[in-house]
Amino acid sequence: QVQLVESGGGLVQAGGSLRLSCAASGNVFRIISMGWYRQVPGKQRELVAISGGSTVYADSVKGRFTISRDNAKNTLYLQMNSLKPEDTAVYYCNMRTSVMDYWGKGTLVTVSS
């Protein structure tokens, strides 16, 4: 089994920065990609950024967010700069393997105007 634990969320003013972390533990192998998704109440979960064979960002975060991985530590990061109120959401870490997808429980990011 794989466990993903997110951290780093919190309350920040518009224009500020946060760095999210996702620590993976367990039988971590055959990873295809790792990524960040976010969800607000009443809306579908949406892709923020994925790191796999290539790096993909949602248009809404390009130029502001940066995804990175420390494979030695099995940790995924999301550096979020120039945050906007519309970035407010629960952010989830995802790991896609050849067997199945794994999800963390999420970390709340709140951006005040």
Query: Per-residue pLDDT tens for 16-57?
Result: 999 999 999 998 778 899 999 999 999 999 999 999 989 999
CA 8, 63, 69, 93 dihedral sign is positive
Q: Give the number of residues written for the chain.
A: 113
CB atoms within 10 A of CB 48: 24
pLDDT at 101: 94
CB atoms within 10 A of CB 26: 12
Q: How confident is the model at residue 99 (pLDDT cuts 50, 70, 90)?
A: confident
Question: Using CA atoms, how far apart are residues 68 and 49, in angstroms rounded to an integer?
Answer: 10
pLDDT at 55: 96
